[in-house]
Structure 1
Amino acid sequence: MKSLKIFLRNFFSNSGHYVFLSFLIAKISSFLGSLLIIRLLPENEFGVLSIVLSVLTIFTPFTGFGSSQSLMRFGSISYDKEEKLKISSYFFFKGMLLELILIILFLFASVFYIHKYEDIFIIFIACAVRLGGFYFLNHIQIFYRISGENQVFAKINNVVNIGGLLLVLILTYFFKFYGYLIAVSIAPYLSLLWLKKDIYSHRAFRFQNYKEMWRYGIFTALTSVTSDALYSLDILLLGFMTNENAVANYRTAILIPSNIIFLATSFLQSDFPILSKNFRDKKFLQSYAINFNKLFIPICLGILLFFYLFKKYIIIFFFGETYVENTTLFMILSVGFTLGMLTRNLYGNLLPAVGKVEINTWLGIGSLIFLAVLAYILVPLYGTIGMGIAMTATLLVSGLGFLFFFFSYLRKLP
């Protein structure tokens, strides 16, 4: 228990609790925004919106084609302030150009849905504007992270998410569905309030290891894409294999389980700069993994027990009587996501921190294939329950893969 106390003390001394709380606020804001739309929109409109948001989820981690991820990694391991500023300026302008290409590709993806869903292109345009805002939000936030200003990072996160939620409430109330689209598209641009010259105006040039930097960024982006795509592919497959009503039912069942992983990811992201600096310290990494499990195993068990005892009341309270039959699906997904926090989320975050991000990419691609194959087999037989089983199995199997490769890395350290 002494090591766990030291583990938590270091977390607080690094202002990690500010980051954690900001992620908590972000999740609550996102959840309330989703809940508002579930309550206000009929099943078919909510289903179409869910499809576009799932496509956006695939593109969002690839903002700047990995520029922000490279900034996070190489800015964290750099001890020279001048070099941090140069790295930030370099990736700011390079990433902005690449972001424009990404937005065009995102809009092009709409051609696969226009023939099936009416007026879906309008939703794609709103989400394209939001995608551009994410570029500035990510770069600005990461700049403050690598500068050791976790409190500023948390403040930006809070303003964007709370401000975004208020925009959703106000504009949706007055302008309904289109008000919601306007709100979500402009919310990320609130981060520009913290854009200062140090972030982009320092003398930038091509670094000697720029190929290594971009390689890391591209692989991290691919990893993020495959990871987030895993939480979108299920929606997309249901959209093709069933109908918008099935999508709406599945989306309500997965909304809470998929959001609880923020407990693990926010904790790990708070410590990412420290983990990166200690990527060759075997004892530190071992101790971190052990203490993380000491903290989160009881949390995961408590979540599962709470969900099991109150699953029906949770569904009715948040989503209404319409979705009460989704309790079994809700529990299946809860098992997958809670156990995934101890494997997939833990070791899937540790591997990029130690520089082994390409492993995440290949495991992520394998997870997508595994999910698609299971869904193809199970959805025709069991409907949304089949998709829930496929997702849970994918989370558990991929989590074991991340665990295996992380400990393989540890064994090679002196």
Structure 2
Amino acid sequence: MNSLISYISSFIKRAGSYIFLATLVSRVFSFLASWIALQLLQPKPLGNVLYAWNFIVFLTPLVGLGLHQSYIRYGALLKSDEEKKQLLNYIIRNGIIGSVIMTLLVLVFSYLYSFQTTEINNYLYILSLVFVPIFLFETIKVRARLEHQNKRFALLEITYNVILIVAVFSLSFYGKTTGYAFSFVLTPLLTCLFFYQQLFANTTTNQKPHFVDFEFWKYGFFGGLSNVVTLLLFAIDILLIGAILKDPEQVTIYRYLTLIPFSLLFLPRVFITTDFVAFTEKIGNANYIRKYIKGYLLLFTLISLLICLTFYFSGIFFLALFDASFTKYNQNFLILTVGICGILMLRGLYGNLLSSIGQVKVNFYITSVAIIVNYIANQQLIPLYGIKGAAITTACLMWMTGVATLVCFHFLYKKFLLSLK
């Protein structure tokens, strides 16, 4: 119990409560922005914008070729403020170039590939401009975390979502769907303008930092790829249900069944966002890391038990909030809930610890294997059990990937500690 109290106390001291509050506010504001768009725009053209935006979202983890992810890991290991400033300038220069390349690639793709309607191509032209602003915004957030300014990080998140609501309302009202598409580009851009000073750092030299090498670039790129395949892992169930069952209603039901369990994934993100820099700075201290793991596991074991008990006794109530007909899928809902606990307890922690020791590529490999297993298993289980088969596959893979990250971390961490001697 002392470990749990100490863990929560450290989380609060690092302004974790601000990040928690900012995350909740951001989710509410994001939902409100979506609701506003639905009220102001016609469903069909709105759907075309969202289709194009989902394509862009799939690529956003790779903005700046993932350099902002290298920035947080390598920046946390640096002791000198001068080196951190040099790294920031290097990240900004090269990340902008990488993001511009992504924009050009999407523009070329949009020009060459014909979607079912030219409107989607036109929206992709607009939305391709978002990569540079998103990269700069992510970099500003990383700098706040590296400087242990989690309050500033929380302010960044809230500012972004306030601007999003204003942009969505005003641009959708006056510019309809085109304005709505531009709101996605202008929101991170305007947020960066509010915090533009965080994009600059005065240094004695603008030369490439001496520690930047191929491994530095590879870390960021694999970090981006890992996030891309994670998005695909969560999306593949929907795609396979639609392809195998050919029943849009079952796709809709499954999407709503996953809505509540998947929304709980913000919990480990809040803690890891708060603590990643702190435990990366001390990653060579085995006692500290063991203490951190113990505190995290105690907390999220209790949270997972509470979630399972709540949904076991009240799952039908929550499903009825969507539609009374959904209650007959309560068992599927519980299966997904148990699966989510595998991420809450294991993968959320050990996946980030792997990143902290520079083994982000292992996360990519584990998730890639999971996608293959998901495809093979669902090809067998969905025809037999319908969406319940998809729920079983997803739940099992959540625990399997969690256990895989646990085993890989403990094995690789021993090697990492030996490399420090």
Matched, 1:297 2:301: yes
Greater alpha carbon shift after TM alignment, 357-366 vs 385-394:
385-394
Distance 1:57 1:85, change over 3 A: same
Structure 1 position 347, deviation (Å): 0.8
Structure 1 position 263, deviation (Å): 0.5
Give the corresponding residue for 2:156: 156
Distance 1:117 1:365, change over 3 A: farther
Distance 1:347 1:113, change over 3 A: farther
1:310-357 deviations in whole A, cap 9, x for unaligned? 33443443x456866665543332222233211111111111112222
Give the corresponding residue for 2:142: 142
Match of 2:264 among 254, 260, 265: 260
Distance 2:383 2:47 in 1: 19
Distance 2:36 2:388 in 1: 25
Distance 1:160 1:126 in 2: 19
Structure 1 position 411, deviation (Å): 4.2
Larger-gyration structure (1/2): 2
1:292-316 deviations in whole A, cap 9, x for unaligned? 1111111122222223333344344
1:231-278 deviations in whole A, cap 9, x for unaligned? 233344456554665544433332322221111122012111111111
Give the corresponding residue for 2:10: 10
Matched, 1:225 2:243: no
Distance 1:135 1:50, change over 3 A: same
For 2:374, the aligned partner's letter is L
Structure 1 position 153, deviation (Å): 1.4
Unaligned ranges ≥5, structure 1? none
Give the corresponding residue for 2:200: 199
Contact 2:18 2:151 in 1 (8 A): yes
- Over the matched positions of the two proteins, sequence identity in percent amounts to 27
Structure 1 position 198, deviation (Å): 5.5
Contact 1:93 1:200 in 2 (8 A): no
TM-score when normalising by structure 2: 0.85
Give the corresponding residue for 1:287: 291
Distance 1:182 1:305 in 2: 44
Contact 2:64 2:98 in 1 (8 A): yes
Contact 2:332 2:391 in 1 (8 A): yes
Secondary structure of the equivalent of 2:200?
helix
5 Å-filtered alignment, 1:78-89, equals 78-89=78-89
Contact 2:137 2:191 in 1 (8 A): yes
Contact 1:64 1:97 in 2 (8 A): yes
Distance 1:126 1:109 in 2: 13
For 1:300, the aligned partner's letter is S
Matched, 1:216 2:219: yes
Structure 1 position 3, deviation (Å): 2.2
Contact 2:351 2:363 in 1 (8 A): yes
Distance 1:206 1:172, change over 3 A: same
Give the corresponding residue for 1:367: 370
Match of 1:278 among 279, 282, 285: 282
Give the corresponding residue for 1:100: 100
Distance 1:296 1:219, change over 3 A: same
Contact 2:86 2:208 in 1 (8 A): no
For 1:194, the aligned partner's letter is F
Match of 1:309 among 308, 313, 325: 313
1:104-128 deviations in whole A, cap 9, x for unaligned? 4445666998555674334434543
5 Å-filtered alignment, 1:5-404, equals 5-33=5-33, 52-106=52-106, 114-116=114-116, 119-168=119-168, 180-192=180-192, 193-196=194-197, 199=200, 202=203, 203-211=205-213, 212-238=215-241, 242=246, 246-317=250-321, 319=322, 327-404=330-407
- Superposed CA RMSD in Å reads 3.3
Distance 1:17 1:167 in 2: 28
Distance 1:110 1:337, change over 3 A: farther
Secondary structure of the equivalent of 1:224?
helix
Contact 2:257 2:333 in 1 (8 A): yes
Distance 1:165 1:12, change over 3 A: same
Structure 1 position 94, deviation (Å): 0.3
